[in-house]
């Protein structure tokens, strides 16, 4: 971390389907991290949402009371900055807007909804600090399975790069609530549960190339501690043979005595079978002889992320690279022209940097432009005609770890408008953005259009470009190795939107390579 920072007290709050948690830490002047408080309180949020579709007033009031207690803790420790995120229990509730409003008005805390991609991103930041030989395990091939109450998140690392990331609505509590009515109608409920899980996961192994063997299996989630207890976990490790023995006993008797011997709560016992079954199904796809259980939760990741942003740590850059690697993998999956995408990305970033004093945007927007450039032609996999519309649809349906829903909307809109279609309030996808995000999209679209025009032939004819400004003109001086009539014609046609957004006229000046 960077030097000479004042002490900082930070809090991370997770409003989960199964429990509400807070973690408070202090970062000292020497930038040592000291945990001051960790508190967890059970909640019925998930049960209400997954069985009824909405959360009852009584449960909302209970959540507010717990959060008031967290607020008192924050005041006691004089917390200077915090973030609070709500997962599927609130995110999927029909009355989520009312719940968030009640929380704000009764506690003063601002709780944000978090999508599965960002949740996974934050949780893995915490895993990095707990998992021994983290980099080595990534290089050798690792599967990370995050089992939550409402959903599971699966990520795979190969050769040090994130190559796959996906969330599925197969959380332990959701499965139990969904299938509970069948439990009394069969003598073999575990088989019914397994069939349901496999019917929703088999497509993964048939559709996606996981780029080689998976040597390590990492299990995380709020409810994993019960598995650790039953399986005699030591040093965050569970022996696979021990796990399979307990699993077989549990299949024979879901109320196995180990549940009581290890003092597992009634709530933990309720979801133990689906949790272990999910673990078993994914563990079987790896060659790992052990299960790594670093026992981290979302609130740990929230704190890690705040520290990354405040102190610009090496970990921050590493996880940004994970996001970029995943986007490159998605582009490959849809057979994108990688040379063209790279060219558009490179020239987009040159223009972005040159225009910094005009657009007033920062590193986050630069990242979104970079990701949009990699994915802008992805829709051609569906249909060459109006491919930009399909690019939008694919991106908005994608699961990009580290990218929030708001950021995903911006990326998708940039891709949709990179070609001939111009943003207008008549388009629902553009209209539903906030005013600030519409402005960001317009600026980044105007930049990527110019960059795309400079490689209209997809042959990388234009090499280096240099940008300078004269009065209200942006002059792009380029060196070309071949005829660039198509690029020049496209540049002229796409420059009007740039001029409309920035009030600057772009001019292309090409010098022929000798």
Query: For the segment 104-133, what is each residue's pLDDT rounded down to a tens digit?
Result: 999 999 999 998 888 888 988 888 878 888
Query: Tokens 């995120």 correspond to what residue?
Result: 85
Residue 147 lies in a domain: yes
209, 101: one domain: no
Residue 66 lies in a domain: yes
106 membership: H or E segment, kind and range:
helix 96-107
What gap in Å lies between CA 39 and CA 214, rounded to an integer? 35
pLDDT-based confidence at residue 3 (cuts at 50, 70, 90): very low
212, 82: one domain: no
Nearest to 169 by CA among 142, 143, 197: 197
Nearest to 252 by CA among 276, 231, 227, 232: 276
pLDDT at 219: 94
User: 505 pLDDT exceeds 90?
Assistant: yes
- Length in residues, the chain: 514
pLDDT-based confidence at residue 29 (cuts at 50, 70, 90): confident
Query: Tokens 């001029």 correspond to what residue?
Result: 499
pLDDT in tens, 153-208: 999 988 888 888 888 999 998 998 888 888 888 888 889 999 999 999 988 877 66
Cβ pair 201, 168 in contact under 8 A: yes
111, 213: one domain: no
pLDDT in tens, 314-334: 778 888 888 999 999 999 989
Cβ pair 89, 116 in contact under 8 A: no
Provide the CATH number for the domain around residue 49.
3.30.420.40
pLDDT-based confidence at residue 313 (cuts at 50, 70, 90): confident
Average pLDDT over residues 285-303: 92
Residue 181 lies in a domain: yes
What gap in Å lies between CA 502 and CA 446, rounded to an integer? 9
Classify residue 131 by its DSSP letter: S
pLDDT at 51: 84
Residue 325 lies in a domain: no
pLDDT-based confidence at residue 399 (cuts at 50, 70, 90): confident
What domain range is 73 assigned to? Answer: 8-115
Average pLDDT over residues 289-299: 91
The whole-model pTM stands at: 0.80
Highest mean pLDDT among 56-60, 75-79, 90-94: 75-79
How far CA 323 is from CA of 29, 93, 117, 336, 392, in Å, comes to 31, 28, 10, 18, 18
262, 393: one domain: no
445, 484: one domain: yes
Domains held by the chain: number:
3
Strands 473-480 and 505-512: parallel
pLDDT-based confidence at residue 209 (cuts at 50, 70, 90): low
How many other C-beta atoms can be found within 10 angstroms of the C-beta atom of residue 481?
13
154, 93: one domain: no
Tokens read off for 37: 């408080």
Cβ pair 144, 218 in contact under 8 A: yes
226, 185: one domain: yes
Cβ pair 170, 200 in contact under 8 A: yes
Q: Which of 293, 318, 347 is the last residue of a domain?
A: 293
452, 498: one domain: yes
How far CA 391 is from CA of 2, 187, 352, 377, 421, in Å, comes to 39, 48, 22, 6, 13
Provide the CATH number for the domain around residue 488.
1.10.3210.10
DSSP 164-227: EEEEES--HHHHHHHHGGGGGG-S-HHHHHHHHHHHHHHHHHHH----S---EEEEESTTTHHH
319 or 369, higher pLDDT: 369
pLDDT at 271: 87
390, 500: one domain: yes
How high does pLDDT run on average in the chain?
90
Residue 123 lies in a domain: no
| pLDDT above 90: percentage of residues in the chain | 62
222, 94: one domain: no
pLDDT in tens, 41-63: 988 888 888 888 999 999 999 99
pLDDT-based confidence at residue 4 (cuts at 50, 70, 90): very low
Provide the CATH number for the domain around residue 143.
3.30.420.150
pLDDT at 186: 84
357, 501: one domain: yes
Residue 323 lies in a domain: no
Residue 245 lies in a domain: yes
Cβ pair 119, 113 in contact under 8 A: no
User: 258 pLDDT exceeds 80?
Assistant: no
- E strands, 258-314, are 290-292
User: 390 pLDDT exceeds 60?
Assistant: yes
Tell me phi and psi for residue 9, to 5 degrees. -105, 125
227, 339: one domain: no
User: 357 pLDDT exceeds 70?
Assistant: yes
pLDDT at 121: 87
What gap in Å lies between CA 474 and CA 469, rounded to an integer? 5
Q: Which of 244, 272, 293 is the last residue of a domain?
A: 293
Residue 327 lies in a domain: no
Compute the radius of gyration of the chain from its Cα atoms.
Answer: 25
Q: Which of 115, 140, 167 is the last residue of a domain?
A: 115
User: 256 pLDDT exceeds 60?
Assistant: no
Q: Is 260 helix (H, G, I), strand (E, B) or coil?
A: helix
Classify residue 381 by its DSSP letter: G
């Amino acid at each position: 971390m960077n030097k000479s920072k004042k002490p900082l007290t930070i809090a991370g709050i997770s409003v989960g389907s199964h429990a509400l948690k807070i973690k408070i830490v202090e970062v000292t002047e020497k930038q040592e991290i000291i945990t001051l408080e960790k508190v967890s309180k059970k909640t019925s949020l998930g049960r209400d949402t997954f069985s009824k579709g909405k959360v009852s007033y009584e449960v909302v009031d209970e959540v507010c009371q717990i959060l008031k207690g967290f607020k008192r803790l924050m005041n006691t420790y004089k917390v200077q900055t915090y973030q609070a995120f709500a997962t599927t229990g609130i995110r999927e509730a029909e009355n989520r807007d009312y719940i968030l409003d009640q929380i704000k008005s009764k506690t003063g805390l601002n709780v944000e909804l978090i999508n599965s991609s960002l949740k996974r991103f934050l949780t893995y930041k915490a895993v990095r600090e707990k998992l021994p030989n983290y980099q080595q395990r990534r290089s050798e091939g690792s599967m990370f399975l995050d089992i939550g109450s409402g959903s599971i998140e699966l990520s795979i690392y190969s050769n040090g790069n994130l190559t796959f990331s996906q969330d599925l609505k197969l959380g332990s509590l959701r499965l139990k609530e969904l299938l509970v009515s069948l439990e009394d109608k069969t003598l073999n409920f575990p088989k019914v549960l397994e069939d349901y899980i496999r019917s929703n996961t088999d497509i993964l192994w048939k559709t996606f190339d996981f780029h080689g063997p998976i040597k390590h299996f990492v299990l995380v989630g709020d409810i994993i501690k019960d598995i650790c207890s039953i399986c005699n976990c030591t040093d965050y490790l569970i022996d696979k043979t021990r796990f399979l023995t307990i699993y077989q006993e549990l299949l024979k008797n879901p109320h196995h005595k180990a549940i009581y011997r290890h003092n597992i709560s009634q709530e933990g016992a309720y979801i133990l079978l689906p949790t272990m079954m999910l673990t078993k199904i994914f563990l079987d796809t790896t060659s790992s002889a052990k299960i790594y259980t670093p026992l981290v939760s979302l609130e740990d990741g929230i704190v890690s992320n705040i520290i990354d942003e405040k102190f610009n740590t090496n970990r921050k850059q590493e996880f940004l690279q994970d996001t970029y690697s995943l986007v490159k993998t998605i582009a490959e999956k849809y057979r994108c022209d990688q040379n063209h995408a790279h060219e558009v990305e490179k020239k987009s970033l040159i223009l972005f940097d040159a225009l910094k004093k005009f657009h007033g945007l920062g590193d986050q927007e630069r990242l979104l432009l970079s990701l949009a450039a990699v994915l802008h032609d992805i829709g051609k996999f569906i249909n060459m005609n109006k491919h930009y519309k399909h690019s939008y649809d694919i991106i908005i349906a994608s699961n990009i770890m580290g990218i929030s829903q708001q950021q995903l909307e911006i990326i998708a809109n940039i891709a949709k408008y990179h070609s001939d279609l111009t943003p207008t309030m008549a388009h629902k996808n553009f209209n539903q953005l906030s005013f600030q995000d519409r402005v960001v999209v317009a600026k980044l679209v105007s930049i990527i259009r110019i960059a795309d025009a400079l490689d209209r032939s997809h042959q990388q004819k234009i090499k280096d470009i240099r940008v300078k400004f004269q009065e209200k003109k942006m002059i792009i001086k380029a060196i070309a190795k071949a005829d660039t009539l198509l690029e020049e014609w496209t540049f002229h046609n796409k420059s009007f939107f740039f001029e409309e957004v920035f009030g600057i006229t772009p001019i292309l000046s090409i010098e022929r390579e000798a």
